[in-house]
Structure 1
Amino acid sequence: MTAATPRALVRAQVALESFRMTADGDTVIYALRRVIRGAYESHIWRRPYRGGRARQLTRGRVRDGSPDISPDGRRVAFVRSAVGTDDAVAQAWILPLDGGEPWQLTKLKHGVASVHWSPDGRRLALVAQAGDQRFVIGDDGPKGRKPVARRLTRLDFRDDESGHVVRRAHLWLVAARERAKPRQLTSGDFDVLHPAWAPDGRRIAFGADRGPDATIHPRLQVWSVGTDARPQIRELVGLAGDADRPAFSPDGRHLAFIGTDVDDPPDEVPPALWVLDLASGQPRSLTASLDRPVGEWAWCDLLLSEEAPGPTWLSDETLSVIIGNRGRNVPYRVDLEGRAEPLTDPAIRIACAGIHAGGGRVAVSVAIDARAGDVHAVEDGALRAITRDGSTWQRRFPTVTLSELELDGPAGPIHAWLASPTAAGRRTLPTILHLHGGPTGAWGPGGTLDAIALCAAGYRVLMPNIRGSTTFGGEWVRPLSASWGTVDAEDALASVDALVERGLADPKRLGLMGLSYGGFLTQWLIGVTDRFAAASSENGVTNQVSTWANSYFGVHYNRRAGLGDPLTDAGMRALWRSSPLRNAANIRTPLLMLQSEEDRICPASDNEQLFTALKVLGREVELILYPDEHHGMKSFGRPDRRIDRMERILAWFDRHLGRA
């Protein structure tokens, strides 16, 4: 048995990134990520649906991902970049499945993000950056020299992954043969998302925000573009809210998508599965009555997914989609009349990240009961593992016991997951309250590397789904609107009280940690109580006033979350009331602050304010800055930085709580 140290865990982890099925359902193609010589390598693998040995299809010091299988099942297209280079220079490659080497399809200047086979298998749609740089005065110059200046005229000039949004992602078309030249289908000041071919191959649907005030009131809609010599763009769906992730039915009569029909939908309005009758042009919701969000909402960093999952057609009349329900991501079957039922036994504790179908068979990528993710077949409500590569690495480490709890709370039972060392039994142990981000999200049953490492060090890890968490219905989310630092704080403290009362948590050795919104609530709680012996906040929100402007989506998210803006005295006061910085003088709890320097969601400049205040006050605080990293460093950052992050968290709690 190997000690579950941060270094050992990060180096050993094999992560399932994405998968696809052949049209006949006989074969699963998937991408696996490993840490090799200090950097990530990803390769494409295949395994028979009915079982059998896995075969590695690509090799080398490369990052291969986003595989898509040709309709005849003979070729796989994928995106490849060399290890040590920016993913922006990734290109499209094609691999024959009956033997042979992969060959490079594209050499686009700004790289390729994703590939999508046409129904006849003769062409591929590509999503790739295009056009001249936006907001630039002067050329880049030789060897990537920075421009003279940037002239900003819109708010969408930055995002978390690329920093400055200098080019737009557009749709291209290329023949699936060597030396073919890609042709750009779309252009304009918008990004193309999630393209889907019509069955006749004559048009491609996609999500995009082409509105005149997209920078202030973003509103994704579904559009289509022709694939002929003179492609025209037209709107397919025009809901009051967002619409994205289109998928044509096999007979071409319907278009499924995910959306909301509420302008600026508040957090308590969940995205639903919709279907558009292409003949009448009338959209209708299939799942709104469930009061549950469609998509991957229960978090688990042991199951990576390249992008949010969309609907998958099982037949002309039936779809499958992931729905968040009570701290789980559950695959559902939904028919065109809106009848919905889970594809898996509700007793199975799963976090699902993807669904694909072929030949009447359905496969899902899921993490189950703190085990890492793999591809499973869905057969009569049961799950059968097709791949084991994503979870086998865990066998060398001590297991974690994951318990599902209902804890007493001020507004009713609080759903929670509790990770414990397997041999702990009912002993009283030092306990870490781990708060999830969002707040539109939930803890799922799939587990986290943090929980594995903390349990191995003798801690319990309590992960409550407090008010504001999704997957429990709008009535559980609504009380947090415009009320950060109120009902959420009450529930967080109540969940700890309940665990202490059960004799499972030592009240004198309590720790607290969280990322993003979880970082905000961590900072907030130590400003209103001194019951925690130590805390660790990561990429949090310190000052709601400055985050409104400094976060790349602060303006519109604040509006949807009911937090408001600082443009009036009343608005300024409301934002300041929910800012941890205003309670800095009350903070006595030792605080470890972890920050990705390139985070555009919760910027470093915001968290530096609380660090400065606590240093001036003479409090125990450390700020660790990780260069070149973004909001998701915890799961996607450079391996040595992920190791450093986890080691610092463990050392901080060991110093102030002491191991069991």
Structure 2
Amino acid sequence: MTTDAATPFHDLDAYVALPRLAGLTLSPDGSRLVTAVQTLDPKRTRYVTALWEVDPTGQAPSRRLTRSAKGESAAIFASNGDLLFTSARPDADTDDDNPKSALWLLPAGGGEARVLATAPGGVGGVTVARDASTVSVGAALLPSSTDLDDDAKRRKARKDHKVAAILHDGYPVRYWDHDLGPDRPHRFVADLAALTDEVPGALVPAPSSGEKDDAEPAAAPEGARLDLRDLTPAPGAALEDSDADLSPDGRTLVTTWRVTGPGPTMRSTLVAIDTESGAQYVLVDDRGADVFGPKVSPDGRFVAYVRETLTTPQRAPEVTLAVVPLAPKQSPRSLTTHWDRWPSSLAWLPDGSGLLVTADDDGRGPVFHVAATGGGIVPVERVTAGDHVYTDVRVARDGSAFYALRSSYLAPAEPVRVDLADYLAQDEGKRTPVEPTLLRGPVPAPALPGSLVEVETPASDDVRIRAWLALPDGASAESPAPLALWVHGGPLGSWNTWSWRWNPWLLVAAGYAVLLPDPALSTGYGQDFVQRGWGAWGDKPFTDVMAVTDAVVARDDVDETRTGMMGGSFGGYMANWIAGHTDRFRAIVTHASLWALDQFGPTTDASFYWERELSPEAALENSPHRFVGDIRTPMLVVHGDKDYRVPIGEGLRLWYELLSKSGLPADAEGKTVHRFLYFPDENHWVLTPEHAKVWYQVVLAFLAEHVLGVAPDDDAYPGLPPVLG
């Protein structure tokens, strides 16, 4: 690739080297804001995360707090202002040359970070009490382990005997890209106030000899490490992929608790656990829904959470926000049954009068205010103005402001401050959304190679369909741009924010206009919009995509004679469906795609969910593999072997049937216009930097060959990457 590119999107090396910001935490006094930044390691083969501090006032520049080869993440402030984080960086006080992720502390008053807690399988899922010194972490133990020390011995035995086998007695057995078991997640609790300031690691003579060469690190003195107490000694699979929160006084941990069962009945409940005794009770057991994302109110009296109804092949999920008193045998109350949007995250206001909630909304993801007091229907009002998506909402304890990360297709995540007090001072029901203040984050927004416009068109049933259209600089009636239609995954999602993995600007830099539509099943347009595509993937989602494509190719700055189509996951399903139902596109890229739906259902990592989504009859009716004989378009198939959500069998069967049964089969010598890009060690997304480069290089070469008519070995195009041979 060129090294003097106009933007980072003209050079894949420059693109993968762009720093990436994620996560946000606010100190109790509101004076410190910390985020994490991913950058390439010196070999440029993986990303390493470091913590950075951002000035909440927006005056001072950001400064780096941590630096290590392993990186740091999951930062959270303790109630006394100390910064906690997790890292697998080496501990100077031990001789472990292969450490697992541990809990570290960076003192508020300055000084070096030190390890607070370790576990043989690593720790994560850190949560702290708002007003107390209690901290809770997650750590996985083997089923027979009695405690962390015993777990270490059992893990060593497995390693020494090179045993990797797992004996399962339940479902699921894997998740996204990793196998589940034999260890199971537990929840531990500890008291930060019990720590001392003593520093472990002074060299002392080993018992066997007084020689200097026998010196070894001393054991950590009493109080130098946290005493982790297991709150869930026999959880089984209940804490897999769990969410947890501590009450402000640290006395109660609220966590999701998976209820296993036959087939589609699997769901999550909410359980409250006393952090002193370990006694627990069920807080919410909703047999018709999954519940997740619990947040305890600042006064400790209530828990807010997100409720998602269990689907059926006839009925799409409904997502609402609910609250329940933090006490046994209480009844939840829904806050947003009247609101035609799906809440995705929540944060309490300091006085407990309401919550700040994020939700997809018409191709954006604003912050909304939801009242939590009073009876009847509570108002929901939009807080933030603009075309952004917000995450990591952190509210200052004095209620003056909240902080968040915002992103859009014009810029990746960046930290902002929103003046909350002024917003809430407006009359209820008449509040005007406010513009956030951009803070001086550690990562500047990159220059873009084009512009972004919004388009919409009526669908076949007169429902409004909208999309983003990214146009290259110079696209005009005199020089119309070729079009790349890109369908999102999910399918319950939206093209509404920046993605490092699915980035349209790389195609824009290559001269394409990129269409990002939100067809039926997309979120942010109301319950009916999702329902119209439910159980009928090949119907309204397909016709919606075609309708908005028709509207865009009618523009004079888009060349309707040169079009390609691409998609991943559900978008890959749609690519396969489109390939069998129209030959209007010159090339189709299908990534991690569903091909034979009857085969897919029992082999995906969450078959219980799939069983709730499509009946066997609907799965067959909507399966793309039935139309392989009608495919007349060159296809690039991409799949990773570590993809457990859409198993590799889908890609393998698609590839074989393209070559043997499609309208463009392999010739007598086995040659074909189709291509199969296979990643033996990648998952659903293809994440490592060099593989991401290969992905885009091959995709761009394939589109150039078939959409632009540029041969892969033509000097005008870089062609296939040399590393592929």
Structure 1 length as normaliser, TM-score?
0.89
Instruction: Please give the alpha-carbon distance, in whole angstroms, between the structure 1 residues aligned to 2:158 and 2:169.
Output: 26
Pick aligned residue for 1:641 from 684, 691, 696: 691
Q: CA contact under 8 A between 1:21 and 1:29: conserved in structure 2?
A: yes
The yes-or-no answer on 1:423 pairing with 2:428 is no
How far off is 1:257 after superposition? Answer: 0.6
CA distance 1:387–1:266, change in 2 (3 Å): farther
Partner of 1:269: 317
Q: Find the aligned partners of 1:487 and 1:451 in 2 and give their Cα distance.
A: 24
Distance change in 2, residues 1:267/1:67 (3 Å): farther
Query: Residues of 1 paired with 2:142 and 2:339: CA distance?
Result: 43
| Residue in 1 that maps onto 2:402 | 362
Matched letter for residue 110 of structure 2:
G
Distance 2:285 2:309 in 1: 9
Give yes or no for contact 2:645–2:684 (8 Å, CA) kept in 1.
yes
Query: Which residue is equivalent to 2:722?
Result: none
Instruction: Tell me the alpha carbon deviations over residues 400-456 of structure 1, each in whole angstroms, 9 at most, x when there is no partner.
Output: 311111123212221101011133255521000000001111110436563111000
Q: Which amino acid aligns with 1:127?
A: G
Aligned 8 A contact 1:414 1:465 in 2: yes
- Cα gap change, 1:267 to 1:417, in 2 (>3 Å): farther
The residue number in structure 1 matching 2:3 is: none
Q: Which residue of 2 aligns with 1:568?
A: none
Equivalents in 2 of 1:604, 1:127: separation in Å? 31
Match of 1:94 in 2: 105
Cα distance in 2 for partners of 1:133, 1:520 equals: 42
Amino acid paired to 2:457 = L
Residues 202 and 226, structure 1, Cα contact 8 Å, conserved in 2: yes
Aligned residues: 623
2:487 aligned residue (414, 418, 435): 435
The aligned amino acid for 1:29 is: V
2:115 maps to 1:64: no
1:465-480 superposed matches below 5 A: 465-480=518-533
Judging changes above 3 Å, is the alpha-carbon distance between structure 1 residues 161 and 89 closer, same or farther for their aligned structure 2 residues?
farther
In the alignment, does 2:559 pair up with 1:511?
no
Residue 306 of structure 1 is matched in structure 2 by none
Distance 1:335 1:410 in 2: 38
Amino acid at match of 2:359: I
- Give 1:313's aligned residue: 349
2:637 is the counterpart of 1:593: yes
Separation (CA, whole Å) in 2 of partners of 1:511 and 1:198: 52
Aligned-partner SS, 2:446 = helix
Q: Which residue of 2 aligns with 1:372?
A: 412
C-alpha distance after superposition, 1:140-177 (max 9, x if no partner)? 85536553854443221111132244322221112333
Which residue in the other structure is 2:218 paired with? Answer: none
Counterpart for residue 156 of structure 1: 172
Q: Which one of the candidate residues 28, 31, 43 is aligned to 1:26?
A: 31
User: Which residue of structure 1 aligns with residue 674 of structure 2?
Assistant: 621
Instruction: Pick which of 531-540 and 112-121 moved more.
Output: 112-121
CA gap of 1:334–1:182, structure 2 versus 1, over 3 A, is same
Q: Is the 8 A contact 1:196 1:205 kept in 2?
A: yes
> Would the aligned equivalents of 1:459 and 1:659 in 2 still touch at CA under 8 Å?
no
TM-score (norm 2): 0.81
Structure 2 contact 35–52 (Cα < 8 Å) conserved: yes
Residues 249-299 of structure 1 deviation map (CA, whole Å, 9 limit, x = unaligned): 11122111111356769773332111113467121111121111111xxxx
* Native 8 Å contact 1:133 1:167 kept in 2: no
Q: Give the letter for the 2:341 counterpart.
A: R
Whichever of the two has the greater Rg, that structure is: 2
Shift of 1:393: 5.2
Distance 1:620 1:659, change over 3 A: closer
Tell me which moved more, 413-422 or 142-151.
142-151
Maintained 8 Å contact 2:79/2:133: no
Alignment of 1:271-310 (within 5 A): 271-278=319-326, 281-295=330-344, 309-310=345-346
Question: 1:612 matched to which residue of 2?
Answer: 656
| Cα 1:378/1:422, change in 2 over 3 Å | farther
Please give the per-residue CA displacement for 1:154-202, whole angstroms capped at 9, x wherever unaligned: 2211111322443222211123332223111113212432211112221
Contact 1:597–1:603 (8 Å) recurs in 2: yes
Gaps of 5+ in 2: 1-5, 91-95, 146-153, 196-223, 424-433, 667-671, 711-725
When structure 1 is superposed on structure 2, of 310-319 and 286-295 the one drifting more is: 310-319
1:349 to 387, 409, 418: 387
Gaps of 5+ in 1: 296-308, 566-570
Higher strand proportion, which one?
Answer: 1
| Aligned twin of 1:582 | 626
Aligned amino acid, residue 34 of structure 2: I
What SS does the aligned partner of 1:593 have? strand
Match of 1:233 in 2: 280
Larger displacement relative to structure 2 (114-123 or 144-153): 144-153
2:265 is paired with a residue whose SS is coil
CA RMSD of aligned residues (A): 2.5
Aligned residue in 2 for 1:498: 551
CA offset digits 1:340-391 (Å, max 9, x no partner):
111112xx1011122111132201111034211111111251111124334x
2:503 is paired with a residue whose SS is helix
Could you report, residue by residue, the CA deviation over 1:514-561 in whole angstroms, capped at 9, with x for unpaired residues? 1100000001101111111001111010110111111011332241x2
- 2:592–2:639: 8 Å Cα contact kept in structure 1? yes
Cα contact 1:408–1:498 (8 A) shared by 2: no
Residues 638, 678 of structure 2: 8 Å contact kept:
yes
Q: Where do residues 127-166 of structure 1 align in structure 2 (5 Å cutoff)?
A: 127-132=138-143, 141=157, 143=159, 146-147=162-163, 149-166=165-182
Q: How do 1:94-243 residues align onto structure 2 when only pairs under 5 Å count?
A: 94-132=105-143, 141=157, 143=159, 146-147=162-163, 149-176=165-192, 177=195, 178-186=224-232, 187-192=234-239, 193-209=242-258, 211-213=259-261, 216-228=264-276, 230-239=277-286, 240-243=288-291
Q: Cα 1:217–1:506, aligned 2, differ >3 Å: closer, same or farther?
A: same
Give, in whole Å, the separation in 2 of the partners of 1:253 and 1:577.
50
Over the matched positions of the two proteins, sequence identity in percent amounts to 24
2:56 corresponds, among 25, 49, 72, to 49
Residue 573 of structure 2: which of 520, 531, 534 is its match?
A: 520
Alignment CA distance shift 1:650-1:86 (3 Å): farther
The AA in structure 2 aligned to 1:233 is: Q
Per the alignment, do residues 460 and 651 of structure 1 end up closer, same or farther by CA in structure 2, a change over 3 Å counting? same
| Structure 1 consecutive aligned stretches of length 4 or more whose deviation exceeds 4 Å | 85-88, 138-142, 261-267
> Structure 1, residues 37-80: CA drift from partner, whole Å, max 9, x if none?
2121101111221021211110021221111101232x111111
Contact (CA 8 Å) 1:276, 1:282: kept in 2 or not? yes
